[in-house]
A = this chain, B = another copy of it.
Amino acid sequence: MRMDQSVEGCAYLAVHEDVVGKVLEQMPPGETLYELADLFKVFGDATRVKILYALFEAELCVCDLAQLLGLTQTAVSHQLRVLKGAKLVKFRRDGKMAFYALADEHVRLILGQGMAHVTEDEARNG
């Protein structure tokens, strides 16, 4: 059976009102979804991912990171600021230098899950 075809969308929706309602109930609030997207946005840059993976093993200063990754000090500093803003890294100051490290286990877990997804795709498709 078919419902009215309003200008607002397809006729199918009405048939699945229950499913749609259930989905709406389970959806996190819009603001939370924005924050979640902002978090992943921080992971979504090769330079920042490199920095995070470099910090997987040990804390490093800005200059070490720059040399290690073949980046300028400025670029690293800018990205560290972003990472710090997202609470993905913590830092301590020691004299002239600033040492950065991963903030917590979430960062490792998120990177690990992402890596699993990427490498599984590679294993499947060549």
Contacts and interface: CB of A to CB of B under 8 A. Distances in A.
Interface residues of A, number: 72
A46 interface: yes
Q: Which of A16, A19, A33, A107 has the largest count of B CB atoms less than 10 A from its CB?
A: A33
B9 A66 contact: yes
B23 A54 contact: yes
Interface in A56-97: 56-58, 60-61, 63-64, 66-68, 70-74, 87, 97
Interface of A: 3, 5-10, 12-13, 16, 19-20, 22-24, 26-28, 30, 32-46, 48-50, 53-54, 56-58, 60-61, 63-64, 66-68, 70-74, 87, 97, 104, 106-107, 109-111, 113-122
